[in-house]
Amino acid sequence: MEEELKPTINKGSMAGYIRSALQLPDTDIKTFSGLTLAYIGDAIFDLIIRTIVVENGNAPVNKLHKQASKLVKATAQAELYHKIKDYLTEDEQSVYKRGRNAKSFTSAKNAGIIEYRTATGLEALVGYLYLTDQMDRLFDLLRPQLQEMVSIS
């Protein structure tokens, strides 16, 4: 009898899997700017929110997009940061500040500069935790807040 092959997922290591599968070189994360960390963090945060929205039920794509957009906008991200800031380690707070203080040449459409910079700092933190394979830590920080923001268990 042939043994069934099941895919294995290294919990919390999507970035490591991608680096390995594509044979990408190791890069010192300390060389990344706050905006580079925010760039990848924005995508990861968006993926998390889209996953939550889709898993909450099948719906027309326009409706899914509207639900996700409410949660990924700068004002929602800034609010999320304020809820988790007291739980951040010194290193995490430093990464957040690198993102927040980075000089960006863009701004949010529907947010003030302070909210936009706060959101950029949060995205930098998300990017940092993702690139350093600390997804468990990311979800420890986000899970309670996301449960409050959307109906997930």
Residue that wins the pLDDT comparison between 111 and 49 = 49
Q: Please determine, for residue 11, whether its predicted confidence score (pLDDT) is greater than 70.
A: no
108 or 85, greater pLDDT: 85
* Portion of the chain with pLDDT greater than 90, in percent: 47
Contacts with 6 (C-beta within 8 Å, 6 or more apart), sequence order = none
Gap between the Cα atoms of 129 and 107, Å rounded: 24
- Residue 121 CA, distance from chain mean position: 11
| Catalytically annotated residue among 26, 28, 42, 133 | 42
Q: Alpha-carbon distance 12 to 138, whole Å?
A: 9
**pLDDT single digits (tens) 16-75:** 888 888 888 888 888 999 999 999 999 999 999 999 889 888 888 898 888 888 888 999
Q: Is 42 a catalytic residue?
A: yes
Q: Identify the residue with better confidence: 150 or 118.
A: 118
Classified as helix, coil or strand, 41 is: helix
Model pTM? Answer: 0.85
pLDDT(122) > 50: yes
CA distances, 41 to each of 29, 87, 126 (Å)? 13, 19, 5
Q: How far is CA 69 from CA 47, 54, 64, in A?
A: 12, 13, 9
Residue ranges of domains in the chain, CATH in brackets: 33-149 (1.10.1520.10)
Dist. CA 79–CA 58, nearest whole Å: 27
